[in-house]
Structure 1
């Protein structure tokens, strides 16, 4: 079975146990997913030696093996998810917005720095003091 086949199997198990109470979810995961994960780990250990050591594939395989405890930690608690996709989706607006906010701030500073004649004027442009609402236009 391929790596993708093993991962699909793990996600199929998750689909099957997702509505169970946490205690039962944990029990089912340990019974059903643990053997798949053990097989996956054995495959990684066996096949990483067959891949060139300077390749990205080798690095990914070694990273997975080095992070194995964290990767399989979800088995111990039925409240945890197999994937961090929910967390990533929750923070995505901030990660994407960070760049936009930085440029909005720089635009604001460049617009107003020429009129700053005192230390107080300069301090008003610091990120924690700058009020960008309504000042981005013009």
Structure 2
């Protein structure tokens, strides 16, 4: 990539595009059984993951660590072995969105429940 084109926005867009390719493979394989789902992952997702990893390794030294992209790339580098493991098993989801959505009501409610020491206090807060 030419140096003039290596802006943070273009790099972030490139990573988002690569991640989009990974999710596109998952969309196409959604209705497949787990054993059959592993085939497109091995065939397509593994090569995209290799590009993502190579891009991350090459770009990480050039990005300011305190920038949003720098933080994201450092997080990705630290989590890489876990992030890339889903291709090993067709039963493993590409993301933890189902878990995140399941706990969202509790996370949102946590602030509201913080000062409700009793059930009566929680009911009084809910009535406001």
Alignment root-mean-square deviation, CA: 2.2
Question: Are residue 72 (structure 1) and residue 84 (structure 2) matched?
Answer: yes
Q: Please say which structure displays the higher CA radius of gyration.
A: 1
Unaligned runs of 5+ in 1: 109-131
Deviates more, 1:44-53 or 1:31-40: 44-53
- Structure 1: which 4+ aligned runs deviate by more than 4 Å? none
Using the size of structure 1 for normalisation, the TM-score is 0.73
Using the size of structure 2 for normalisation, the TM-score is 0.78
1:40-80 per-position Cα deviation (integer Å, ceiling 9, x unaligned): 11011111121123433222212211211110111112112
Unaligned runs of 5+ in 2: 1-12
Q: 1:76 to 1:134 in 2, by over 3 A?
A: same
Structure with more relative contact order (C-alpha pairs < 8 Å, separation 6 or more)? 2
Q: Which has the higher helix share?
A: 2
